[in-house]
Amino acid sequence: MEIRTALVTGASRGLGRALATALNARGWRLVVDAQDPGRLAATVAGLPRPDLVTAVPGDVADPAHRSALAAAVPDRLDALVNNASELGPSPLPRLADLAPEALTRLLAVNTVAPLALVQAVLPALRAAGGRVVDVSSDAAVAAYPGWGGYGASKAALDRLSAVLATEEPALRVFALDPGDMRTAMHQAAFPGEDIGDRPEPESVVPALLRLLESEVPSGRYTAAELTPAGARS
């Protein structure tokens, strides 16, 4: 059986690290990235099968880094998981106070980079009949004060995911809302608050595995919908 390959961005912590750990343990070959080279190297060293992992540190908003990621991908790519995201300024500003350059950066990382990565590896995805998972947020569909910039970037990502699914019917394309998690990004959204009641990122991994390894049709899902209690086929 041919080894499956996934490109996972933002893999040095949080949900990206949890997914990379699970896929690596299941025998997937991985190409992973993160902005901090030291943290990424430490993450890879701690994986069950680091020999199956290619680490490419860098910023997904950088075209040269995206080219390096695409070059590290084999001719067939079973999955692209666009997990790398930025929150924006912390504490979260109201739209009246959101600097335009901050919004530009959010869109560059959360919206433009995922599409650019899809474009860069599309031949390999097509060759494998692969899957694209764009990690979204409930802020893409609900209006929370302070979340306007981040939410707008994820709402745009949702639309790109939906259109890509119609334009590339041989692929499966998903937008996944993982829900609240106990991550550094979530802590930055609530500085000084105790987020210990939020679930660990590992709790979302079963939902991601279902998208990557089962016959779920393209679409937008929440993690809760894909877990056994609320699963939809």
Write the pLDDT tens digit of every residue in 152-204.
999 999 999 999 999 999 999 999 999 887 777 777 777 888 878 888 999 99
* Number of domains comprising the chain: 1
Q: Is position 232 within any domain?
A: no
Give the SS3 label for residue 190. Answer: coil
Identify whether the C-beta of residue 91 lies closer than 8 Å to the C-beta of residue 109: no
> Which distant-in-sequence residues (6+ apart) come within 8 Å of 104 by Cβ?
none
Q: Which residues lie across from 222 on neighbouring strands?
A: 177
CATH of the domain at 150: 3.40.50.720
Q: Is position 88 within any domain?
A: yes
Q: Report which of 34, 27, 25, 20 is spatially closest to residue 1, judged by C-alpha positions.
A: 27
Q: Is position 87 within any domain?
A: yes
Chain centroid, CA 3 distance in Å: 21
Q: Is position 231 within any domain?
A: no
Q: Which pLDDT score is estimated for 69?
A: 98
Q: Which pLDDT score is estimated for 199?
A: 83
Enumerate residue ranges in the chain where pLDDT < 50: 230, 232-233
Q: Which pLDDT score is estimated for 1?
A: 61
Q: Is position 54 within any domain?
A: yes
CA distance 158 to 177: 10
Q: Which pLDDT score is estimated for 2?
A: 80
Which residues carry out catalysis?
136-137, 150, 154
Q: Which pLDDT score is estimated for 160?
A: 98
Q: Is position 233 within any domain?
A: no
Q: Residue 141 belongs to what domain range?
A: 5-226
